[in-house]
Chain A
Amino acid sequence: MAGYTEDELKEELKSQEYEFGFTTDIESEKIPVGLNEDVIRIISAKKEEPEWLLEYRLNAFKVWQEMTEPEWAHVHYDKPKFQEISYFAAPKKQYESWDDVDPEMKATMDKLGISMDEQKKLTGVAVDFVMDSVSVATSFKDKLAELDIIFCSFSEAVKDHPELVKKYLGTVVPSTDNFYAALNSAVFSDGSFCYIPKGVKCPMELSTYFRINESGTGQFERTLLVADAGSYVSYLEGCTAPQRDENQLHAAVVELVALDDAEIKYSTVQNWFPGDKDGVGGIFNFVTKRGICHTNAKISWTQVETGSAVTWKYPSCILKGDNSIGEFYSVAVTNNYQQADTGTKMIHLGKNTKSTVISKGISAGKSQNSYRGLIQIHPKADNSRNFTQCDSLLMTDECGAHTFPYIECQNNSAKLEHEATTSKIGEDQIFYCQQRGLSEEKAISLIVNGYCKEVLNKLPMEFAVEAQKLLAISLENSVG
């Protein structure tokens, strides 16, 4: 990176006057629960969308109605009642004052080392900080504008850059792709849009944290990221702070397009409310994430998943262009009664395509953690290569780790490697650390971080430090 950090940006801002007004009048209406064509028309009208986008939504809705909810994942839950959800809700409930914020949540954020200002922003409290963050974000935008980088909310993109949205929306994840992708395509609320022009190396990590007017992550979030030929971008999604939401079902779609010679690095830290110790409540996170790589392009997914009651998520790469590269680095932690079914698909279409999959599952409590992966080598994908490493770490006798690796190879010149291990966290390892003066919790944290090192190393520096702390917190009192 070009040595421009968040801190430097803040420093720069100190010397600037605040020059922008408030954004006011937050939409507070709700439309009645239920889903039908009229509801979709209302959503589209409220967002003042062009006709083609309404058509897109309506088509997706038709497709969705014909579909049934998938049941192949290794998770069990009560299916959401889709007619009891309001599909155009106000921004998520925010706290009136700092005193209203759940003390447990505050304690967790303290442990993560999140500053007071940032804590207030994350919980949606305190106007003064919102003001500050708007100014930060605005300056940030100015920097990007100099390079013609577009980074805005999805709704803004529809208004300001309709041609780009129209060109790429649904090209990687078609609305017919799966049940949740179809639902998202019909009712998506908002999300992020990013476009990096030809040959531009984005000089800073793009983070949703900086996006203007963000009213919390939506229930049906839509992200579209296009890296034009020869460009580079590193994108950060989510944050380590615990996120609560009144909506139980979350079905996001993320589409990445890496054109010739472009590179996209997409990092996620997901910490949605996982439910309480007895498995009550918690978010269902059913996400479709996929990227397409054109010639010589590269997409790298890195994810640290610690939250949600049920996770269903497979960030994937379509390696369409020759010599393209797909990578997937994942740490998935489940504790108490959490269930995760996560992994990746690497679809090799072009010649000399390469993919790497490193998955580290950690199961604690009574949780179930599954890796599900597909490596598909198409007939024309000469000399393609895949390396998969899939490790599971068990913290207790009551949790489960499962691996479902699929390989479909239709080209004899391909080289595929698959390594897998399952281990239980060693009492001997913990005792060894304790004998050197580390408390049991410190010992577990150290061992687990060591186990995940290959993945954590792929995260941007500040993110990695927070992710390490998050792992430790997620696994407190988890050894049995």
Chain B
Amino acid sequence: MLDKEEIRMSRTLLDIKNLHAEIEEEGKAILKGLNLSVKAGEVHAIMGPNGAGKSTLASVVSGKDGYEITEGSIEMDGADILELDPDERAKEGLFLAFQYPVEIPGVSNINFLRTALNEIKEYRQEEQISAKDFMAMVREKSALVDLDPKLASRSVNEGFSGGEKKRNEIFQMAMLEPKVAILDETDSGLDIDALRIVAAGVNKLKNENNAVILITHYQRLLDYIVPDFVHVLADGQIVKTGDKSLALELEEKGYDWLN
């Protein structure tokens, strides 16, 4: 285990500086000078009222079309990623667990993941994974989130329940082993048992070499995945940062007292 000194020395995996972003078509500013620095081994929670820009932050970091970055920078593991396409960012080790996972009819989960994994490996000039090793990996990782292995051969997210979709996201995260994982409201729509399972999965996946960013409305999730830092995002900026107790305080008082 690392001691505190080493953690402080550990490398910064995601570094967002003075980020300004607007919706392209409307020219409406959403992020207004956001700063966030995430080091290896850390878990950060981002909370905030509706419309504060939490999901926009996830979209902008992962490179989704439709946003213009007007100012600021995003670096991942020391390298500027603003010019990279979404798939290149993914190949560099960024993962986004979607709030609303998308269905892809006719494409099996397994085929999808194997294609993704091999694309990533090719980019990193690593050897492609064999069918046998891949299937072994699927079995191991699906057990991590208690995902029915049958779902692995069904079409991506098609006909999955809300809870299954969220578990499938964490299963994919387990398969792709990202450096930085952003979980966008992964807890929404989950009952307490499913929440426990998902949280347990994430806890098993986090280690001293990766980082997890949880975007959430509820402190409930943070009972299971304990964050090192809690940030409050309001009107496009991080307005307050604290430890886990901040989440409890927010739960009690709401966001109004911060203004």
Contacts and interface: CB of A to CB of B under 8 A. Distances in A.
A406 interface: no
Interface in A411-464: 426-429, 431-440, 442-443, 446-447, 449-454
B105 A437 contact: no
B87 A438 contact: yes
A450 B87 contact: no
Contact of B116 (A426, A428, A437, A450): A437
A432 B116 contact: no
| B contact residues, range | 20 to 34
Contacts of A449: 106-107
A433 B176 CA distance: 13
A220 to B, nearest CB: 37
B115 interface: yes
Interface in B119-146: 119-120, 123
Given A442-B119, A446-B112, A436 B106 contact: no
B104 A427 contact: no
B19 interface: no
Nearest to B182: A435
Interface in B79-94: 85-87, 90-91
Contacts of A427: 65
B87 A439 contact: yes
Contacts of A432: 98, 101-102, 104
Given A431-B64, A438-B87, A450 B155 contact: yes
B115 A426 contact: no
A442 B107 CA distance: 13
B86 A435 contact: yes
Given A439-B119, A442-B115, A450-B155, A434 B105 contact: no
B105 to A, nearest CB: 6
A342 B85 CA distance: 38
B102 A428 contact: yes
Given A431-B64, A431-B86, A432-B98, A437 B106 contact: no
B62 interface: yes
A427 B115 CA distance: 19
B10 to A, nearest CB: 25
Contacts of A442: 115, 119
Contacts of A429: 102-104
A358 to B, nearest CB: 12
Given A431-B65, A450-B104, A452-B106, A436 B155 contact: no
Contact of A436 (B64, B85, B105, B112): B112
B172 interface: yes
Measured as residues with beta carbon below 8 angstroms from the partner, the interface class of chain A is: 20 to 34
A436 B176 contact: yes
B212 interface: no
A71 B34 CA distance: 62
Nearest to A457: B106
A335 B220 CA distance: 51
B152 interface: no
A305 to B, nearest CB: 19
A177 B241 CA distance: 79
Contacts of B101: 432
A450 B102 CA distance: 14
Nearest to A445: B115
B96 interface: yes
B96 A435 contact: yes
B106 A434 contact: no
Given A431-B64, A446-B115, A436 B172 contact: yes
B97 to A, nearest CB: 10
A438 B120 CA distance: 8
A436 to B, nearest CB: 4
A437 B104 contact: no
Contacts of A451: 105-106
A450 B109 CA distance: 11
A455 B258 CA distance: 58
A350 B226 CA distance: 70
Contacts of B103: 429
A427 B63 CA distance: 13
Contact of A434 (B87, B95, B112, B176): B87
Contacts of A436: 90, 112-113, 116, 172, 176
Nearest to A439: B87
Best-surrounded residue of A426, A446, A452, A454 (most CB of chain B within 10 A)? A446
Contact of B87 (A428, A440, A446): A440
A446 B95 CA distance: 20
Given A427-B65, A442-B119, A434 B104 contact: no
B21 to A, nearest CB: 16
A440 B119 CA distance: 12
Contacts of B116: 433, 436-438
Contacts of B115: 438, 442, 446
A396 to B, nearest CB: 15
Given A428-B102, A432-B102, A437 B90 contact: yes
B85 A434 contact: yes
Contacts of B104: 429, 432-433, 446-447, 450
Nearest to B107: A450
A212 to B, nearest CB: 39
B95 to A, nearest CB: 8
Interface string A342-376: 00000000000000000000000000000000000
A230 B176 CA distance: 52
Contacts of B172: 436
A447 B85 contact: no
Given A432-B98, A432-B101, A437 B87 contact: yes
Interface of A: 426-429, 431-440, 442-443, 446-447, 449-454
**Smallest CB-CB A-B distances: 9 pairs:** A450-B106, A450-B107, A453-B106, A434-B86, A432-B102, A436-B116, A437-B90, A434-B87, A437-B120
10 contacts: A431-B64, A431-B86, A431-B102, A433-B116, A435-B90, A438-B116, A440-B87, A447-B107, A449-B106, A452-B106
Given A434-B86, A435-B96, A436-B172, 8 more contacts: A432-B104, A435-B98, A436-B112, A436-B113, A440-B85, A449-B107, A450-B105, A453-B107
